[in-house]
Amino acid sequence: MSLIERLQSYMRRAAARSYEAIAVPPFTAFIHPSDGLIYFNYAIPDGPITGDVREPLRRLRAVFQERKRLPRFEYVSALAPTLADTLLASGFRLEAEARVMVCTRESFTPVPVPEGLSLSVLTPGSSREEVRAYCNTGRRGFVPNEPYEAPEEELSRALEDVKSGGAVLGRVEGQPAVVGMFTPPSEGIAELAGVATLEGFRKRGLGTALTSRVAREAFDRGVEVLFLSTITEEAGRIYERVGFRFVTRMLFIVDAAPPEGI
């Protein structure tokens, strides 16, 4: 199995751990049990796509509509090269194209922590207030204008996740500022995810320093390949400083005409 096949396989397994997995061959829908945020709900093709998929797409749309979610795909484009054209012809639109990058122990390049930044690794023994700060910072970093307070069930899930993954919270002068994590490893692979910096703390090198710390935690815990996806070239250059290298591309494709009520 090639590296990009291993990465896509890992994405399926990781999504199945966190979300409800609903088989709609030749696709699988992954639905967050309580959060309708677009990034938490998506489908991945089960493999290369052949033949007429109009009926599977109709059924897939129905699955998302029943759960009041926006139909959406996330997948490595090289492993389903004809799917994008099929989706675009079926009423979807390209949301974004991301660069998939990987880092290994050999390529990892630690960076220094900026003055004033303190980084702490969450553990199962972390207080709920520390976990709440982590969850709120991540959500507010990605959706700055949304007033958000993490519900209790999210805190419980986060505490469960840190048993096998690694979440890091960065503070500046005691104030939560930046977060990131690596997902639970499987077959030597883990994903760097959820790196978010609050608007008032950006362009200070905090995200780079946090990425370095998360990568170090991952490799210390036996991860062989740490990967991420990033949409912007600027972010890609930041990750290159830590030792990440481009390997393939990933597509994010969303329904252009979602059903009413979503």
174 vs 116, 131, 169, 255, CA distance in Å? Answer: 9, 15, 11, 42
pTM: predicted TM-score of the whole model, two decimal places: 0.86
Residue pair 45/250 in contact by the 8 Å Cβ criterion? no
- The Cα 232–Cα 219 span in angstroms is 25
pLDDT per residue, tens digit, the chain (262 aa), is 899 999 999 999 999 988 999 999 999 999 999 889 898 999 999 999 988 999 999 999 999 999 999 999 999 999 999 999 999 999 999 999 999 999 999 999 999 999 999 999 998 888 889 999 999 898 888 888 878 888 888 888 888 777 777 899 999 999 999 999 999 999 999 999 999 999 999 999 999 999 999 999 999 999 999 999 999 888 888 899 999 999 999 999 999 976 565 6
Do 108-243 and 3-99+250-255 fall under one CATH topology?
Answer: yes
What CATH class does 108-243 carry? alpha beta
Q: How many CA atoms lie within 13 A of 36 on its CB side?
A: 10
Domain ranges across the chain: 3-99+250-255, 108-243
**Structure tokens, 219:** 């490799």
**Is 3.40.190.10 the CATH number for 3-99+250-255?**
no
